Structure 1
Amino acid sequence: MAELFCNGGAMRGGNLHHNVSAHPFVGQVRTAPIYRFFSVRDEFPALLLTESGGAAIEGELYDVPMQDIRTDFLPEEPAELELTVIQLEDGRSVLAVGLRPGLVDGIADQLTEITDQGGWRKYRGLSQPDDAAVS
């Protein structure tokens, strides 16, 4: 099993939640404050590691077998994203998908920076699930 950070459609209530819903929900967490956060064409979010201007980004953590990440989760992720390892606020390293760094300049016109929103739910005006205390 691997801890997988989800910060968009795979979160509870999202259109891709079915890809992780059969696996244990570990809790709501935040990244370390070293990421910029973008909306890509206002379709999905994307994390990007940064040396400055980053923030802690909210998401959900799931315990998912590596095989299921490969077969169920990744095939539905947009081509602009890649599997990566991120740092959580508590210092742990976990799997996540992030914006392919080489794409930033090439798709700049498709990116809206939403780092100051701190999460996809806040940006989209979606409510937090009642049982999700941020840790």
Structure 2
Amino acid sequence: MPALFCSGDAMRGGRLHHNVEKHPFLGAVRTAPSYRLFSVRDAFPALLLTDRGDGASVAGELYDVSLESVRTEFLPDEPPELELTVIELDDGRSVLAVGLRPGVLEGAPAGELTEITAHGGWRAYRGLPDPDDA
């Protein structure tokens, strides 16, 4: 089964974790240092691949999820600004994830997208506890 990178509320402790909790948890991981991270309407995070040299490694979790489950359990709860994509992890693996759709960054109304790359992840940005530190 493909690995699915989760970087928002589908992570452990999040309100959408039920979408992946029945699937094997493969561990906490980080993306390769070539992504920017945005908060969309302060409701969910969005990854964006960058080639401008302003990317960073973003924290998330990896789950072993069938493509059918991605289609039927995970994607239906994703907002329209996001799409299924393939990202690179810091260890070189390619995995499924959701990222910001092309054109959303350029067309977003003022204040809808806030860059949070410097925080390193959604939990850090939101001030949420890390389950691995409990």
Aligned counterparts of 1:20 and 1:85: Cα–Cα separation in 2: 18
Trace 1:109-124 onto structure 2 (pairs within 5 A). 109=110, 110-124=112-126
Residues 1:7 and 1:80: Cα distance change in structure 2 (over 3 Å): same
Q: In the alignment, what sits opposite 1:22?
A: 22
2 CA distance for matches of 1:66 and 1:131?
Answer: 31
Map 1:68-107; keep pairs closer than 5 Å: 68-107=69-108
Q: State how far apart, in whole Å, the 1-side matches of 2:125 and 2:109 are.
A: 19
Specify every segment of 5 or more residues in structure 2 that has no aligned partner in the other structure, as ranges.
none
Amino acid at match of 2:126: R
Instruction: Show CA shifts across 1:74-106 (max 9, x none).
Output: 000000000000000000000000000211111
Query: Partner of 1:61 in structure 2?
Result: 62
Mean Cα displacement is larger for which, 98-107 or 30-39?
Answer: 98-107
TM-score, length basis structure 1:
0.95
TM-score (ref. length: structure 2)? 0.96
Q: How much is the aligned-residue C-alpha RMSD, in angstroms?
A: 1.2
Partner of 1:42: 42
Distance in structure 2 (CA, Å) of the matches to 1:65 and 1:17: 16
Amino acid at match of 1:59: G
Q: Which runs of 4+ in 1 moved over 6 A?
A: none
- Aligned-pair distance for 1:131? 6.5
How many residue pairs match? The answer is 132
Unaligned runs of 5+ residues in structure 1 are none
Deviation string 1:25-63 (CA, Å, 9 cap, x unpaired) is 000000000000000010000000001200000000000
